[in-house]
């Protein structure tokens, strides 16, 4: 019974408000919006996956994730650190060494992501097929 279980953003929020009140995704402070903005980007989910087994250094992380420019990886890591998803540990030595590790919060985010991933793997075939049909129908 999915529709009854849909909490938060999925339930008609507050019909007395013209905008639907809180819980609306165009509200930058909406919890779901915050999370979606974080995992919706190109690299965050991959970083979480790469760090799931344990801490990694910058270059290891880069190699594990694959194909990401250093600037962009830095941006991603800073944002995740800022949001408490991972910790950045600098070792005072030469050559420099910086470890990135998931926090409890970061690890716990893996749960919902795994659910999403499971759904994706199960249903992506249907989606892709629908796309093909749609394109074919235009012709």
The footprint of DNA (CB under 7 A) covers 26, 41-43, 57-60, 67-72, 74-77, 88, 95-98
**From the list DNA, a copy of itself, none, partner contacted by residue 14 (C-beta under 5 to 8 A by kind):** none
Q: Which is nearer to a copy of itself, 7 or 95 (CB)?
A: 7
Residue 3 exposed, middle or buried by CB count within 10 Å (0-12, 13-18, 19+): exposed
Residue with tokens 């540990």: 89
- Positions of E strands within the chain: 56-57, 86-91, 97-102
| Per CB under 8 A, 128 contacts a copy of itself | yes
> 72 to 91, contacts with a copy of itself by CB under 8 A?
81-84
**From the list DNA, a copy of itself, none, partner contacted by residue 106 (C-beta under 5 to 8 A by kind):** none
Q: What is the DSSP string of 35-55?
A: HHHHHTSSSHHHHHHHHTTS-
The CA distance from 117 to 122, in Å, is 9
Decide: helix, strand or coil at residue 102: strand
Counting residues that bind a copy of itself (by CB under 8 A) gives 68
| Site for a copy of itself, rule CB under 8 A | 2-3, 5-12, 18-20, 24-26, 29, 31-32, 34-36, 39-43, 45-46, 48-50, 52-53, 64-68, 81-84, 105, 107-121, 123-124, 126-131, 134
């Amino acid at each position: 019974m999915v529709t009854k279980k849909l909490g938060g953003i999925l339930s008609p929020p507050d019909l007395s408000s013209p905008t639907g009140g809180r819980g609306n995704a165009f509200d930058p402070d909406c919890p779901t919006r915050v999370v979606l903005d974080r995992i919706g980007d190109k690299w965050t989910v991959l970083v979480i996956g790469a760090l799931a087994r344990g801490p990694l250094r910058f270059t290891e992380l880069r190699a594990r994730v694959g194909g990401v420019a250093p600037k962009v990886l830095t941006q991603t890591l800073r944002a995740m650190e800022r949001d408490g998803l991972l910790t950045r540990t600098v070792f005072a030595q030469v050559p420099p060494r910086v470890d990135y590790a998931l926090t409890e919060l970061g690890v716990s985010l893996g749960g919902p992501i795994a659910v999403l991933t499971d759904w994706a793997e199960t249903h992506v075939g249907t989606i892709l097929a629908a796309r093909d049909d749609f394109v074919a129908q235009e012709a």
